[in-house]
């Protein structure tokens, strides 16, 4: 997702002072705030942002999604709070079969945050948005006093336009559908946790944070109307995503444990930490309910893209036990795969 | 803006337990979060919210705006963080000549916040949105640990559709335009500050927080293409809003001090606190640059609505001193009206 355009290099030839920090006045709506925005908005590669922006969509309906991001630490292997915010919102749109068109960006900043960090996050937002072919069109910055926030929170909202032929919905699953997964699970959650706690796993681990809208577009193009439901298993992990889809569609899901790809480092970290990889957050994979007759074609289309190169079938949608997800384990027994209860990994996204 | 529909009464016949509080697990993406959302979303009067919602706009372009709200205290005379968020975003759309269509709602909640408070804010969002004829279509909730946020932050994003004949833009002002103001200034900022600090003014003061999209629609309908620029003077106050419009339009502004309506209680509080009413935040008035030939008609249309009943002309757009705002004072001298520098009243919205 890196491109030849580097917003920092493009707009900031002077070395940044190390000691500049965000002041309460930067959120005032006055002169200091104007200076902050004049510093930050060119990094978005977008000219001046307006309080309200006009966005050409070319369609009489849009898809809209919003997400707050509170991840800690804000920088981790494979991404940061800025790129994560862009990917998270783009992916929520993609799961409704939409092509992202525009993003808004709202910062809540703690007084004292190094200005340079805000610049880095903003440049990361710009790079991620550019790589997604989506524009940041409007934004907002609030500053709260020391101790009233933990550095920086980012809320992104996206609008997009549905692809022709996209009729995916959480309630779209049907008995007989194949359950497809686009790639290995657990990388984001374990990477962030390991980085935060200094567990040392992070030397080998990288978040899977990435945009999935090209993957969903390829799936929908290949699947005709056979792609029934899509979900990115973020907070709550694969288990929660499948439970939500099963409940919404009024169907059951039967997984095959050997088919669920858990990277060795994720398995090792989960073993040590007492986590279930099925409950660990992902930011760069998706699960789909696809008409069995189209599943092979859809899988082939997924595997043709880097973000779907490890796509695989992990189970089947069934009429039995509606709303419940079960898994045939390695030893052949069946177990119920519940939603995550309570909190496993706070502030993972 | 109260209506006969009361979301709390409609969805919550059982008295709320006083001691329930938000837990970290309520942000997990799992079962506890599902329970929280099942409690909150009916209060929005909107059925289940989706990660991404499909919104019919009926137009090939939309107007988009986002705002974070960090106001403290969260409840104040005339509103709360929920209604303020709805009004703020609706008004940003209105200032571009748009009718609001849909809102997204993102909460960042501190662990330990009384659940009842989150319910009250959510019900307030619902009431305000209903009174604005706008739907909350999608949302997000994140929970951060104790001490990592100050109770509750709300980010709303709105999309709307431009009114026919609306060609308002910050850069639209022209020399000769009348400068119109829809109502008295300073009420929101002074009310919030007084409530926060226990200054006692709040017994007489009420925030002006309210939606302005009906007012802007009436102005645009009455003004033909004569309504050139609109702005709601929120953070930074009337002075900053006028400076921004003057800079964007490349024009000067000359105000008449006696014409600027400052309520007596606002004037008294500002006098005591050393504040300039021109720098105090408003959440329910707007300033407009309007073709002088249409100004009388537009003023009459404004005064026909409750939110514009005190509308008045406060000055003139001039070709001299572009980007600068001056004011003829009560004694006949001229002074420069600068943007707010630094921070006067933190966390006012």
pLDDT tens track for B100-109: 999 999 999 9
A273 touches chain B (CB under 8 A): no
pLDDT tens digit string along B171-212?
999 999 999 999 999 999 999 999 998 887 766 899 999 999
With tokens 């980085």, the residue in question is A195
User: Would you state the structure tokens that stand for residue B1, as one six-digit string?
Assistant: 């803006």
Which of A14-28, A167-181, B145-159, B228-242 is least confident?
A14-28
Please name the member of A52, A63, A157 whose beta carbon is closest to the beta carbon of B98.
Answer: A52
Angstrom distance (rounded) from CA A141 to CA A36: 9
Range name among A295-304, B10-19, B105-114, B256-265 with the lowest pLDDT average: B10-19
- Taking CB atoms and an 8 Å cutoff, what residues of chain B touch A347? 142, 144-145, 148
A-chain CB neighbours of B64 within 8 Å are 52-53, 55, 102, 104, 137-138, 157, 159
Q: Which of B153, B162, B235 sits opposite A28 (nearest CB)?
A: B235
**CB-based contact, B12 to chain A, within 8 Å:** no
Side-chain-facing half-sphere of B15: CA atoms under 13 Å: 3
Q: For B319, which DSSP code?
A: S
Q: What is the CATH number of domain A17-162?
A: 3.30.1330.10
Residue written as token pair 């980007």: B323
Residues A284-311: b if buried by 16+ CB within 10 A, e if exposed: bbbbbbbbeebbebbbebbeebebbeeb
Q: What residues does B141 pair with on adjacent strands?
A: B107
- The DSSP symbol for A39 reads H
pLDDT of residue B7 exceeding 80:
no
Q: What part of A 161-220 touches B (C-beta under 8 Å)?
A: 162, 170
Q: Could A30 and B144 be called an inter-chain contact, meaning their C-beta atoms sit closer than 8 Å? A: no
pLDDT at residue A48 in the model: 66
Judged against a pLDDT cut of 50, whether residue B3 lies above it is answered with no
Return the CATH class of domain B19-162: alpha beta
Cross-chain Cβ contact A31/B341 below 8 Å: yes
* DSSP assignments along A151-165, one per residue: SEEEEEEEEEEEPTT
**What's the pLDDT at A173?**
97
Pick the residue from chain B with its C-alpha nearest to A107: B68
Checking if the pLDDT of B316 tops 90, the result is yes
- Shortest CB distance from A341 goes to which of B32, B150, B155? B32
Chain A CB contacts of B30 below 8 Å: 235-236, 240, 279, 339-344
Domain residue ranges in chain A: 17-162, 170-336
- The region of weakest confidence among A167-171, B81-85, B119-123 is A167-171
CB of A60 within 8 Å of any CB in chain B? yes
Q: Which residues of B touch A32 (CB under 8 A)?
A: 341-343
pLDDT in tens, B35-50: 888 889 889 876 667 7
Q: What is the pLDDT of residue A53?
A: 93
Token pair belonging to A1: 């997702």
Please report residues of B whose CB lies closer than 8 A to that of A57: 57, 60-62
DSSP-derived secondary structure letter, A150: S
| Residue A328, token pair as written in the block | 């045939």
Are A106 and A18 within 8 A, CB to CB? no
- Contacts A171 to B, Cβ<8 Å: none
Q: Can you say whether the dihedral through the CA atoms of A103, A104, A108, A114 is positive or negative?
A: positive
Task: Please state, for a pLDDT cut of 70, what percent of chain B lies above it.
Answer: 93
pLDDT of residue A166: 86
Helices A81-94 and A213-223 pack at an angle, to 10 degrees, of 20
* Residues forming beta bridges with residue A318, ordered by sequence position: A252
CATH code assigned to B170-336: 3.90.650.10
- Return the closest-CA partner of residue A212 out of A94, A330, A71, A65: A94
The beta-carbon neighbor of A347 closest among B144, B344, B347 is B144
Name which of A64, A150, A153 is nearest B102 (Cβ-Cβ).
Answer: A64
**Cβ count near B264 (within 10 Å):** 9
Contact list in B for residue A338 (CB cut-off 8 A) is 31
Using omega within 30 degrees of 0 as the cis cutoff, is the peptide bond preceding A250 cis? no
Q: Is some CB atom of chain B closer than 8 A to the CB atom of A16?
A: no
Asked if B342 lies within 8 A of A23 by C-beta distance, the reply is: yes
Contacting B residues, span 129-148, partner chain A, CB-CB under 8 Å: 137-145, 147-148
Backbone angles phi and psi of B49, in degrees to 5:
-85, 150
A29 vs B234: CA distance, rounded Å: 8
CB contact under 8 A, B28 and A344: yes
Sites in chain A below the pLDDT cut of 50: 1-16
φ, ψ for residue B196, nearest 5 deg: -65, -45
Closest CA relative to residue B93, chosen from B70, B71, B61: B61
């Amino acid at each position: 997702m890196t491109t030849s355009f580097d917003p920092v290099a493009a707009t900031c030839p002077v070395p940044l002072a190390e000691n500049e920090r965000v002041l309460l006045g930067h959120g005032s709506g006055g002169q200091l705030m104007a200076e902050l925005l004049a510093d930050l908005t060119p990094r978005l590669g977008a000219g001046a942002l307006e309080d309200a922006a006009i966005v050409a969509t070319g369609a009489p309906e849009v898809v809209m999604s919003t997400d707050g991001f509170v991840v800690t630490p804000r920088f981790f292997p494979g991404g940061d709070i800025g790129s994560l915010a862009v990917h998270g919102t783009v992916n929520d749109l993609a799961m409704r079969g939409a092509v992202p068109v525009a993003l808004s960006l709202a910062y809540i900043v703690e007084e004292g945050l190094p200005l340079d960090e805000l610049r880095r996050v903003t440049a990361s937002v710009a790079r991620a948005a550019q790589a997604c072919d989506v524009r940041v069109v409007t934004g907002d910055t609030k500053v709260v006093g020391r101790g009233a926030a933990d550095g920086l929170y980012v809320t992104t909202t996206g609008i997009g336009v549905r692809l022709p032929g996209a009729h995916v919905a959480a309630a779209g699953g049907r008995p007989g559908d194949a359950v497809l997964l686009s790639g290995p699970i657990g990388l984001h959650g374990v990477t962030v946790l390991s980085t935060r706690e200094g567990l040392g796993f992070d030397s080998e681990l990288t978040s899977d944070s990435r945009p999935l809208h090209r993957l969903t577009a390829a799936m929908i193009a290949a699947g005709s109307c056979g792609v029934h439901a899509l979900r990115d298993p973020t907070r709550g992990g694969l288990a929660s995503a499948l439970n939500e889809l099963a409940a919404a569609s009024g169907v059951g899901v039967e997984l095959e444990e050997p088919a669920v790809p858990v990277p060795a480092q994720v398995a090792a970290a989960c073993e040590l930490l007492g986590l279930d990889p099925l409950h660990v957050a992902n930011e760069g994979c998706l699960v789909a309910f696809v008409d069995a007759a189209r599943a092979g074609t859809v899988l082939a289309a997924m595997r043709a893209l880097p973000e779907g190169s490890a796509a695989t079938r992990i189970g089947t949608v069934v009429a039995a036990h509606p709303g419940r997800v079960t898994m045939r384990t390695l030893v052949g027994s069946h177990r119920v795969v519940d939603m995550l209860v309570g909190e496993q990994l706070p502030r993972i996204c």
